[in-house]
A and B are shown apart, each in its own frame.
Chain A
Amino acid sequence: MLINSIVLFLRDALPVLILFSLVLVLYRGYAYRFRIALGAVVCGLVASLGLVLSMGFWSALADGMGLELLYAGLYAIAFLLIGALLIHKRGSQPGQIKLVFALCTLLVCLGSSSIFVYFLGFWQHIENPQVILLGSFMGGAISLSVAVLWYYLLTMLDHYWAYASRCFLALFAAGLTGRCLAYLIQADWLPYSATAWNSSTWVSDSSELGHFLHAIFGYEATPHWSQITMFLFALALLLGMVWVRRTREQQDDGV
């Protein structure tokens, strides 16, 4: 149970914390960024609790596929929010801060829903529930440590090239499309496409590196061709937007 809790946190909380690192680096000039992040965590957890409590309702929709469709939709919205952030000039206008807040809240909600199901489901049914708390604390601490290291690495990279964090945010968003597609395929709303490759012998999905790469860009050892295609298309689109933004900002600076 201890190991299960740690792995669950690594899988579900690490991507959220990686996103927070990206956003905090991207808006490091904004004084209230930590306050915004904290607010998003609180709102996200409350929303997640609401989602978990209503999962029975969602599951019953669309011939039992309502939850998949909901998750697919929410991941698509998260992708669009990141796209909207990347197209705008980096700044702290109220509109952008609202976008950041909505994005972080959404990802906290999605990331913590599985953890809530685990907590609420097992708390009353195991002999030693403190083990779950200890495992969660350890998993949370490991994830947070990785996210802090990632934050400082990104800060350093951003120092050398101001668009580094934006490119990594584009990579993160492209990874979200893979999750969105996976849910749509699972719900049978998209046709099944063959597995492109199996890289589990090099980097297994359940390994530490696998969890980290999954958090960075949605790595899967056995992706579908449709996921690969969508990932590359989304990445090209978002990097194109970063490039356009960079060109415009250079032109503005030149004037």
Chain B
Amino acid sequence: MLNARFKSVLGVLCCMLGFPLWAALPVFTIEIRNHLFFPSELYIPADTKVKLKIINHDATPEEFESFELNREKVVFGNSKTQIFIGPLAAGRYPFFGEFNPNSAQGVVIVGAANAD
């Protein structure tokens, strides 16, 4: 009984502490059309963890890949996915589409003044 009550209190506390942080996470979106990333330059704030939504409008799959960001994620045709990036130091972090590396290219620019 005590154990169940302790778990309930702990769960509520976790929600109270964790939910505002999760909810406050900035969300940025990248779209894939005709094997190109839009926008090809994404501005995000420095030292902030962000959620990156990737929407693939093509019928073919694409693999979002960045050696600099250490990220690798398959996005199936006509579907969307998400990844977390950061907190990152100011700088440029190139990314590309593993299946179309010549056309699908972009860069995450961290710490820029016009970050959304």
Partner among A114, A188, A198, A221 whose Cβ is within 8 Å of the Cβ of B84: A188
Residues of chain A contacted by B77 (CB below 8 angstroms): 121
30 A-B residue pairings within 8 Å (CB atoms): A4-B101, A7-B101, A55-B74, A56-B79, A64-B81, A114-B63, A114-B98, A117-B61, A117-B63, A121-B76, A121-B77, A121-B99, A122-B60, A122-B99, A125-B60, A182-B70, A185-B70, A186-B84, A188-B84, A192-B49, A192-B87, A195-B68, A195-B70, A205-B67, A206-B67, A220-B70, A222-B67, A222-B68, A222-B70, A224-B70
Q: How far is the CA of A135 from the CA of B49 in the complex (A)?
A: 38
> Chain B binding site: helix, strand, loop or mixed by DSSP?
loop
- Total of A-B residue pairs, C-beta within 8 Å: 66
Partner among A118, A187, A194, A221 whose Cβ is within 8 Å of the Cβ of B61: A118
Could you list which residues of chain A lie within 8 angstroms of chain B, going by C-beta atoms? 4, 7-8, 55-56, 59, 64, 67-68, 114, 117-118, 121-122, 125, 182, 185-188, 192, 194-195, 198, 200, 205-206, 220-224
Residues of chain B contacted by A223 (CB below 8 angstroms): 70
B 55-99 binary contact with A (CB < 8 Å = 1; else 0)? 000011101000110111110110101111011010000000011
Nearest chain A CB to B74's CB is how many angstroms away? 6
Nearest chain A CB to B19's CB is how many angstroms away? 13
Could you list which residues of chain B lie within 8 angstroms of chain A, going by C-beta atoms? 49, 59-61, 63, 67-68, 70-74, 76-77, 79, 81-84, 86-87, 89, 98-101
| Chain A residue at smallest Cβ distance from B59 | A125
Nearest chain B CB to A193's CB is how many angstroms away? 10
Which residue of B49, B71, B84, B89 has the most chain A CB atoms within 10 A of its CB atom? B84
The answer to whether residues A67 and B67 also contact, given A121-B60, A125-B59 and a CB cut-off of 8 A, is: no
Nearest chain A CB to B83's CB is how many angstroms away? 6
Q: How far is the CA of A59 from the CA of B82 in the complex (A)?
A: 10
The answer to whether residues A186 and B101 also contact, given A114-B63, A222-B67 and a CB cut-off of 8 A, is: no
Q: How far is the CA of A192 from the CA of B82 in the complex (A)?
A: 16
**B99 & A186 in contact (Cβ 8 Å cutoff):** no
**B61 & A121 in contact (Cβ 8 Å cutoff):** yes
| Chain A residue at smallest Cβ distance from B58 | A125
Nearest chain B CB to A119's CB is how many angstroms away? 10
| Chain A residue at smallest Cβ distance from B81 | A64
Which residue of B61, B82, B87 has the most chain A CB atoms within 10 A of its CB atom? B61
Q: How far is the CA of A122 from the CA of B77 in the complex (A)?
A: 10
Residues of chain B contacted by A55 (CB below 8 angstroms): 74, 76
